[in-house]
Amino acid sequence: MEQYIQLFQESANYHSEVMKEQRKKFESKPQFIRAGLYYFQKFQEMHHQQIQQKYFASELLKISGNQKFKNQEYEQACVLYEQALSIFRFVRNKRENWQKEGLYDDDLEYVDENGKSDKEKKLVKGLKVVLYQNICLVYLKLSKNNCQNVNDALYACNEAIKLDQKSSKAYYLRAKARLDKVALNNEDFKQSIKDYKRALELDPDNQNIQQQLQKCIIAFDKIKQIDFSQPFNSNKQTQREERCFIADCQAANGLNSNFQVNMVKNNERKTVQQMQINDKDKKKKSQKNDNIDEQTNKTQDLWNQLRIEKTFLNQNISLNYEIIQKTVI
């Protein structure tokens, strides 16, 4: 029975892996695009309506999402923003019974409606830009211990910038999204500074952008002062100072608690590897002494065992002698 269950599980796992291979393109898409497939049936009738009706329905969902966001109900806000976007950007599956028959890339059609007339295009574009920005915001709120959310947030910002290259907020959010990455490197700092500067060009009076740009520059300057070509100093006090220095970089830019620097990670890994090599060398040097100690321990154990056996034997001899004496008497 156990063998049958194991074979069944292996077969199910294999089938699951095969299915994933069949929908690789779909799985590589960000969450807000994949959501367009799952909400397709919910808004199927809406897809046949005029742009004005679609805009009105999407706007209502966005407003509801804003309210949830203000109440810090981020997951509900996320659903509402994704639904609002899926009215215009959705995934149609040619296989009607796909939920039972399986999901295949070849069956999927990605639809992104923008309207026909210039007026409709302008209306839809403005709403989409806001939705992409809101999706980025809510993904960053939900990004704790989730790298995919940060990547999807970056994707959403890129989509907003594609539609409106003069959106100061989109550049600002993209800079924040880069700095929320779990593994942060020099290039992320450079690109974030570039985005902050672009956002400031588009909105020169925005003090928040000015402050964030300054913090990012300060943090980057501090990071550059650390010599990452060398592993952390073995001295505990120096290590503590270096780690506090990195922590200051986090605080200077308001980065989340998941902040790590790739170069720091790599050097920590090198330090650990060096420690492992040193440990091996120490073990080799002390191998002879270890063998002697081991042999000594074995000898001591054997001696103790002999003492116990001797004591036990003496006790038996004494007991037998007493029995013999009683018998003679």
Inform me whether the pLDDT recorded for 219 exceeds 50: yes
For each of the domains in the chain, give its residue range(s) and CATH number, in order of start. 10-164 (1.25.40), 182-277 (no CATH)
Inform me whether the pLDDT recorded for 204 exceeds 80: yes
Residues 235 and 201: their CA atoms lie apart, in Å, by 46
Residues 102 and 19: their CA atoms lie apart, in Å, by 7
Tell me, what's the pLDDT at 52?
94
Give percent of the chain with pLDDT exceeding 90.
52
**β-sheet bridge partners, residue 183:** 260
Model confidence band, residue 185 (pLDDT cutoffs 50, 70, 90)? confident
> Which pTM value belongs to this model?
0.68
Inform me whether the pLDDT recorded for 258 exceeds 70: no
Contacts of 104 (CB under 8 A, 6+ apart): 22, 23, 95, 98
Structure token digits, residue 173: 């959010």
Which of the 8 DSSP states describes residue 91? E
Q: What is the pLDDT of residues 58-92, one digit of tens each?
A: 999 999 999 999 999 999 999 999 999 999 999 99
* Segments of 163-290 assigned E as strands: 183-184, 260-261
Residues 6 and 8: their CA atoms lie apart, in Å, by 5
Tell me, what's the pLDDT at 243?
54
Calculate the CA 270 to chain-centre distance: 23
Q: What average pLDDT does the structure give for the chain?
A: 77
Tell me, what's the pLDDT at 259?
45
Tell me, what's the pLDDT at 87?
97
Inform me whether the pLDDT recorded for 51 exceeds 80: yes
- State whether residue 180 is helix, strand or coil: coil
Name residue 228's amino acid: F
What is the four-CA torsion angle of 76, 206, 217, 239, rounded to 10 degrees? -50
Lowest mean pLDDT among 5-19, 196-210, 289-303, 313-327: 313-327
Structure token digits, residue 208: 């928040």
Half-sphere exposure of 64 (CA within 13 A, CB side): 15
Inform me whether the pLDDT recorded for 314 exceeds 70: no
Name residue 189's amino acid: F
Top-confidence residue, 226 or 227? 226
Report for 13-22, 137-146, 292-301, 305-314: range of highest mean pLDDT: 137-146
Q: What is the pLDDT of residues 111-161, one digit of tens each?
A: 999 999 999 999 999 999 999 999 999 999 998 756 788 999 999 999 999
